[in-house]
Amino acid sequence: MIILVDLDSVSFSPLETNRKLFESEHIFIHVFSFAFECMSLGRFCAVPEFQLPYHRRVSGGGVVFHGPRRDISFAFSFYAHSINLRDTFLFISQMISEFIKSGFGFSSYIRGTDVYFNNHKICGFAAARRRNFFVIEGCISLQFNDSKKNNIKNPQNFCFLNFGEEIENFHEISFNLIKFMMKNLREFI
């Protein structure tokens, strides 16, 4: 298994790393972030009319805004011969909700398969599959700044409508996430 931490990346290399590891069917856990304002787009998502650099994720989903120390992204892969993806997503949602409670001291709730706090979506993820090999890519965004929401056209295409502000103890929280995932994803990886 490969464990990767790529914080404050100045390029889209974390997403390319996820793609390469998925395509070569390597088992991995990856926690990463971007040092610049950008967007990641799901594999089939339309490109929004937003003047930010963007890169496509190997998984599906919509548009996610990233910025310096504002969100923590994660990815992991696993083999499964028989899987109920909805049950897997619910397990991940519960795991992330537990991480948020232990790491930040507040309770979140699950709606569908996404994690919410005070009616704000704070974590979402999507999957890609190659035969019996899967990758899950997700993002946790905990800080809120609603001032940019008015500029968004077609909000249904966006995974998060919150634009984060810098997270305190960002690096510590990111490393705690990788430890938490290693401990709690044993049944998958």
- Domains of the chain, CATH where assigned: 2-184 (3.30.930.10)
Share of the chain above pLDDT 70, in %: 87
> Which of 13-22, 45-54, 147-156 is the most confident on average?
13-22
Contact 140, 72 (CB under 8 A): yes
Most confident of 21-35, 140-154, 158-172: 21-35
Position 169 scores a pLDDT of 82
Reported for 37-44, long-range contacts at CB under 8 A and 24+ positions apart, including other chains, are 37/65, 37/66, 37/67, 37/68, 38/12, 38/65, 38/66, 38/67, 39/63, 39/64, 39/65, 39/66, 40/12, 40/15, 40/64, 40/66, 40/73, 40/139, 42/126, 42/159, 43/128
51 confidence band (pLDDT: 50, 70, 90): confident
